[in-house]
Structure 1
Amino acid sequence: MAHPTASVTVVVDGGYELAEGGRWVDGRYVYVDILSGRLFELHADAAPAPRQLALLDVPLGVVAPVHDRPGAWIAAVGTGIALLTAEGALEWLDRPEDRTPVPSRMNDGVADPAGRFWAGSMAYDGTPGAGSLYRTDPDGTVVRALDGLTIPNGPAFTADGTTMYLADTAAGTILRCHVDPVFGGLSAPKAFARLRDAEGSPDGMTVDEENCLWVAMWGAGAIRRYHPDGRLLHTMTVPAPHPTSVCLPPRGNRLLVTTARYGVRNPTAASGAVLSIPVPVRGTVACAWGASLAEDRVRQGNPADSGP
Structure 2
Amino acid sequence: MTTTAASVAVLVDGGYELAEGGRWVDGRYVYVDILSGRLFELHDGTGLAAPRQLAALDVPLGAVAPVAGRPDAWIAAAGTGIALLTADGALEWLDRPEDRTPVPSRMNDGVADPAGRFWAGSMAYDGTHGAGSLYRTDPDGTVVRVLDGLTIANGPAFTADGTTMYLADTAAGTILRCRVDPVSGDLSGGPDTFARLGDEDGSPDGMTVDDEDCLWVAMWGAGTVRRYHPDGRLLHTLTVPAPHPTSVCLRPDDNSLFVTTARYGVTNPTAASGAVLGIPVPVRGAAACSWRGGR
Tell me the TM-score normalized by structure 2: 0.97
Gaps of 5+ in 1: 292-308
Look up the SS of the partner of 1:186 in the other structure.
coil
Report the equivalent of 1:27.
27
CA-to-partner distance for each residue in 1:35-73, whole Å, 9 max, x for gaps? 000000000266221000000000000000001111000
Report the equivalent of 2:255.
253
Look up the SS of the partner of 2:72 in the other structure.
coil
RMSD: 1.0
Report the equivalent of 1:79.
80
Matched, 1:226 2:233: no
Look up the SS of the partner of 1:97 in the other structure.
helix
2:75 alignment partner AA = I
Look up the SS of the partner of 2:6 in the other structure.
coil
Report the equivalent of 2:290.
288
Report the equivalent of 2:55.
54
Equivalent pair of 1:168/1:202 in contact (CA under 8 Å):
yes
Superposed, which structure 2 residues align to 1:1-308 within 5 Å? 2-44=2-44, 47-187=48-188, 188-290=190-292
Separation of aligned partners in 2, 1:229 and 1:278: 24
Report the equivalent of 1:306.
none
Separation of aligned partners in 2, 1:85 and 1:11: 27
Residue 155 of structure 1 deviates from its aligned partner by 0.3
My pick for the range that moved more, 1-10 or 61-70, is 1-10
Separation of aligned partners in 2, 1:251 and 1:220: 29
Tell me the TM-score normalized by structure 1: 0.93
Separation of aligned partners in 2, 1:201 and 1:142: 28
Equivalent pair of 2:81/2:98 in contact (CA under 8 Å):
yes
Residue 3 of structure 1 deviates from its aligned partner by 3.7
CA-to-partner distance for each residue in 1:111-136, whole Å, 9 max, x for gaps? 00000000000000000000000000
2:277 alignment partner AA = L
Look up the SS of the partner of 2:204 in the other structure.
strand
Residue 2 of structure 1 deviates from its aligned partner by 4.3
Look up the SS of the partner of 2:98 in the other structure.
helix
Identical columns (%): 84
Runs of 4+ in 1 over 2 A off after TM superposition: none
Separation of aligned partners in 2, 1:19 and 1:285: 19
Separation of aligned partners in 2, 1:279 and 1:3: 10
Separation of aligned partners in 2, 1:208 and 1:45: 18
Separation of aligned partners in 1, 2:95 and 2:134: 14
Q: 1:45 to 1:239 in 2, by over 3 A?
A: closer
Report the equivalent of 1:300.
none
Q: How many residues align?
A: 291
CA-to-partner distance for each residue in 1:163-203, whole Å, 9 max, x for gaps? 00000000000000100010000121000000000100000
Equivalent pair of 1:2/1:222 in contact (CA under 8 Å):
no
